[in-house]
Amino acid sequence: MRKVLLGAAAAFALTAGTAAAQGISGDVVKIGVMSDMSSLYADVGGPGSVAAAELAVKDFGGTVAGKRIEIVQADHQNKPDVGSSIVRQWIDSEGVDAVADVPTSSVALAVQQVLKDKGKVFLMSGPASSDLTGKACSPTGVHWTYDTYALAHGTGSALVKQGGDTWYFLTADYAFGHALERDTGDVVKAAGGKVLGAVRHPLNTADFSSFLLQAQASKAKVIGLANAGGDTINSIKQAAEFGIVAGGQRLAGLLVFITDVHSLGLKTANGLVITEAFYWDQNDETRAFAKKFEAVMKKKPSMVQAGVYGAVMHYLKAIDAIKTDDGKAVVDQMKKMPINDFMTKNGKVREDGRVMRDMYLFEVKKPEESKGPWDYYKQLAVIPAEEAFRPLKEGGCPFVKG
Amino acid sequence: MFELLGIPPQALFGQLLIGLINGAFYAMLSLGLAVIFGLLNIINFTHGAQYMMGAFVAWFLLNSALGLNYWWALLIAPIVVGITGIVIERLLLKRIYKLDHLYGLLLTFGLALVIEGLFRNYYGSTGLPYSIPPQLAGGHNLGFMFLPNYRAWVIVFSLAVCLGTWFVIERTSLGATLRAATENPTLVQAFGINVPRLITVTYGFGVGLAALAGVLAAPIYQVSPLMGSQIIIVVFAVVVIGGMGSIMGAIVSGFGLGVIEGLTKVFYPEASNTVIFVIMAIVLLVRPAGLFGRAR
């Protein structure tokens, strides 16, 4: 314990001392991967995100600017207070330079605030709320993989175009669900459709029958599921049970991950229209990454896990270019360098921290179309970055000029 | 048609029915807990994990080489999980009967975490698919709502199980022996009855009830390592409201709270996962022994 304290004190002293000297603080680049390790989002991010970060470090060579790279991990249990206190401890006493992943928008919003105050880097892959690059943006925050705006403009507008002009939302009652409902509602209204109502359910609900009956009674053509993970799985499963799809209403899974499809099975999930930033079977590069990942995790990567790899890689490249791990300087450098990896072509980090990349619209295959486990998606369309993400000026990010 | 608080009566009937169905799960789980607490004086926090194991056994049976379907699972899963319960009782629980309740709580809670962690490690947190048996697929339009056949089955089946258990414990000579063994084990033993074995079998039975509820739940919810920890806290609240150890209390408050929770989902959905605890707090203030409990 004493040794840890001494080490922590030394690390802290070094952090403080070298900020001006622009070197690598504490002679180590420490990345804290924080995720939901044991609950409803654990398969989407969780241990797989840690593995992805470790893969990135390994592929980068294990050192950057001559210094060691270290990965630490923590479970935020989907609680904002737990998340922000871990991050404070990481920075104040353990010399962590960057925090990666952090699914669950409410936790990410709290962590974003802490990291902004401390001037440390936030590599967001898991969280969805578009507010993270909007009114809650940070000069050291990078929102890597996707956001609620992109989901709304992908799945949302695809369904409106197919005639789904009246919507009812089943919304997870926290920051993410609210943001997704708002962004999708905007898309529906902009396309001339109508939002008939919404019901807010607590995070991590097992039984959706009550909510589904309310949605059924609304007679809306589309029931938008503004939830994720286990909540989405249970909603979809029980909607089938209550004959909602058979009754002519359509389900819009606004945030569905491949792990959810795997868990539901194609018999229940087929026909869902899904917006994702990555699918393992898109091309040789994505398949190569999936193979590396599968060797460690024994399953295919989700877009969140793939995003953690990409974000950590880009972060390390930026440090390598400017030989410092000072938060603001590194993120400024990340914004200067184009992103080219297995899942992002000619991407860039925008001023507000939003990563601009193409998104993809997929449809879940029918059981007879699938060749086996994890062969689940067929691509419907590519959504160019400029359409997928909110224009810079509309975000309301305070430090964006103009 | 008149409206009640802005909700048409049709919708209200639907919600009442849904509440009863969810209450059926609460009732079956709290029944097992009440049996175990009433007869063993152990607060069985492993109950949620055992409910989850029941669902997993159903999944294993279906996906094993034998391909045993739902109906077989309904029979086999409670036996298999019940036997693991008996092993736990023989190896661990019987050593702590004489200690404070707290030790039993800590032991069973620890066990629950271990079991849940093991399943999560091997099967992930999102869960595994399990379909509704073909005989119970589909549903009927009742005019005020669409009732899936499977949900109707759940309510009928669990009512039968609950009332059957109540009858055995409160109205038969076996039940009388069980109750006597809890009141005064030494005296009952003097009559030539093997009390430790009686207690072991009772624990196995309580655990089997949890597993049975797990099989019932498998087609509705995901078969997931987390399913137990999600429901167990609510079920404990139900048992406390009903009165610790009271069989009828567990059944009535299980169904009743299902209905109250269902109505909350209509009138104020955000509060639907807190309402049971609010009720628990009120009941504890007014009647500390629970609605049907006797002060000890």
What mean pLDDT, rounded, does chain B reach? Answer: 89
Nearest by Cα to B169 from B187, B182, B159: B182
DSSP reduced 3-state for A104:
coil
The alpha carbon of residue A364 and the mean position of all alpha carbons in its chain are separated, in whole angstroms, by 20
- Model confidence band, residue A6 (pLDDT cutoffs 50, 70, 90): low
What is the average pLDDT across A313-321? Answer: 97
| More reliable by pLDDT, A19 or A133 | A133
- Show which of residues 197-216 on chain A sit within 8 Å of chain B, judged by CB atoms: 199-202, 204-207, 209-211, 213-214, 216
What is the average pLDDT across A210-226? Answer: 93
User: Which of A334, A353, A372 is where one domain is finished?
Assistant: A353
**Contact B59/A at CB under 8 A:** no
Cβ pair A98, A119 in contact under 8 A: no
- Scored b (16 or more CB within 10 A) or e, A86-117 reads bbeebbeebbbbbbbbbbbbbbbbbbbbbbbe
Instruction: Say if residue B227's pLDDT is above 60.
Output: yes
Cβ pair A273, A305 in contact under 8 A: no
A40–B226: do the CB atoms touch at under 8 Å?
Answer: yes
Interface probe, candidates B231, B265, B267, chain A, greatest A C-beta count within 10 A: B265
- The ipTM value here is 0.85
Report the DSSP beta bridge partners of residue B120.
none
- The minimal CB distance from B126 to the residues A200, A233, A267 is found for A233
Instruction: Say if residue B233's pLDDT is above 50.
Output: yes
Same domain, A204 and A65: no
A212 located within any domain: yes
Same domain, A85 and A228: no
B125–A46: do the CB atoms touch at under 8 Å?
Answer: yes
pLDDT digits (tens, 9 = 90+) for A25-45: 999 999 999 999 988 899 999
B222–A263: do the CB atoms touch at under 8 Å?
Answer: yes
Instruction: Say if residue A21's pLDDT is above 80.
Output: no
Output the CA angle A303-A304-A306, nearest 5 degrees. Answer: 60
What is the average pLDDT across B58-67? Answer: 91
- Model confidence band, residue B66 (pLDDT cutoffs 50, 70, 90): confident
A396 located within any domain: no
- Show which of residues 149-188 on chain B sit within 8 Å of chain A, judged by CB atoms: 150-151
DSSP reduced 3-state for A225:
strand
- The minimal CB distance from A204 to the residues B131, B148, B230 is found for B230
Instruction: Say if residue A16's pLDDT is above 50.
Output: no
How far apart CA A124 and CA A109 sit, in angstroms, is 10
A349: amino acid identity, one letter: V
Same domain, A29 and A93: yes
For A170, nearest residue in chain B (alpha carbons): B269
B14–A243: do the CB atoms touch at under 8 Å?
Answer: no
B273–A40: do the CB atoms touch at under 8 Å?
Answer: no
- Model confidence band, residue B295 (pLDDT cutoffs 50, 70, 90): low
- Model confidence band, residue B5 (pLDDT cutoffs 50, 70, 90): low
B146–A216: do the CB atoms touch at under 8 Å?
Answer: yes
B270–A200: do the CB atoms touch at under 8 Å?
Answer: yes
- The minimal CB distance from B126 to the residues A200, A207, A229 is found for A229
Q: What is the CATH number of the domain that holds A245?
A: 3.40.50.2300
A402 located within any domain: no
A45 located within any domain: yes
Set of chain B residues whose Cβ sits within 8 Å of the Cβ of A200: 269-270
**Contact B222/A at CB under 8 A:** yes
Same domain, A174 and A262: yes
| More reliable by pLDDT, A320 or B138 | A320
Specify the pLDDT at position A259: 93
Domain total in chain A = 2
Specify the pLDDT at position A4: 53
B262–A210: do the CB atoms touch at under 8 Å?
Answer: yes
A393 located within any domain: no
Q: What is the DSSP string of B267-290?
A: H-GGGTTTHHHHHHHHHHHH-TT-
How far apart CA A115 and CA A96 sit, in angstroms, is 11
A113 located within any domain: yes
- The minimal CB distance from A38 to the residues B125, B132, B273 is found for B125
Instruction: Say if residue B202's pLDDT is above 50.
Output: yes
What is the average pLDDT across B94-119? Answer: 91
**Contact B125/A at CB under 8 A:** yes
Same domain, A194 and A309: no
Cβ pair A301, A50 in contact under 8 A: no
What is the average pLDDT across A342-369? Answer: 95
Specify the pLDDT at position A86: 97
For B117, nearest residue in chain A (alpha carbons): A38
Instruction: Say if residue B247's pLDDT is above 70.
Output: yes
pLDDT digits (tens, 9 = 90+) for A71-110: 999 999 999 999 999 999 999 999 999 999 999 999 999 9
Report the DSSP beta bridge partners of residue A194.
A166
Specify the pLDDT at position A20: 42
A400 located within any domain: no
Cβ pair B48, B228 in contact under 8 A: yes
Instruction: Say if residue A127's pLDDT is above 80.
Output: yes
- Show which of residues 251-310 on chain A sit within 8 Å of chain B, judged by CB atoms: 259-260, 262-265, 267-268, 299
A230–B125: do the CB atoms touch at under 8 Å?
Answer: yes
Q: Return the DSSP state at A152.
A: I
Same domain, A54 and A130: yes
**Contact B272/A at CB under 8 A:** yes
Same domain, A126 and A56: yes
Domain that holds residue A248: 149-276+359-385
Specify the pLDDT at position B101: 84
Same domain, A11 and A124: yes
* Radius of gyration of chain A measured on its C-alpha atoms: 21
What is the average pLDDT across A187-209? Answer: 92
What mean pLDDT, rounded, does chain A reach? Answer: 92
- The minimal CB distance from B150 to the residues A207, A211, A241 is found for A241
**Beta pairing, strands A359-364 & A377-383:** antiparallel
How far apart CA A299 and CA A238 sit, in angstroms, is 26
How far apart CA A40 and CA A38 sit, in angstroms, is 7
- The minimal CB distance from B146 to the residues A42, A206, A243 is found for A243
Same domain, A256 and A365: yes
CA A65 to chain B, closest CA, distance in angstroms equals 36
Same domain, A136 and A86: yes
Same domain, A60 and A128: yes
Q: Return the DSSP state at B172.
A: S
**Contact A17/B at CB under 8 A:** no
Instruction: Say if residue A15's pLDDT is above 60.
Output: no
Helix (H) or strand (E) holding A130: none
Instruction: Say if residue A8's pLDDT is above 80.
Output: no
A398 located within any domain: no
Instruction: Say if residue A12's pLDDT is above 70.
Output: no
What is the average pLDDT across B261-266? Answer: 88
Specify the pLDDT at position A3: 55
How many A/B residue pairs have CB atoms within 8 Å?
Answer: 110
The CB density around residue A33, as the number of other CB atoms within 10 Å, is: 27
Same domain, A8 and A126: yes
Which domains, and CATH codes, for chain B? 9-286 (1.10.3470)
A210–B151: do the CB atoms touch at under 8 Å?
Answer: no
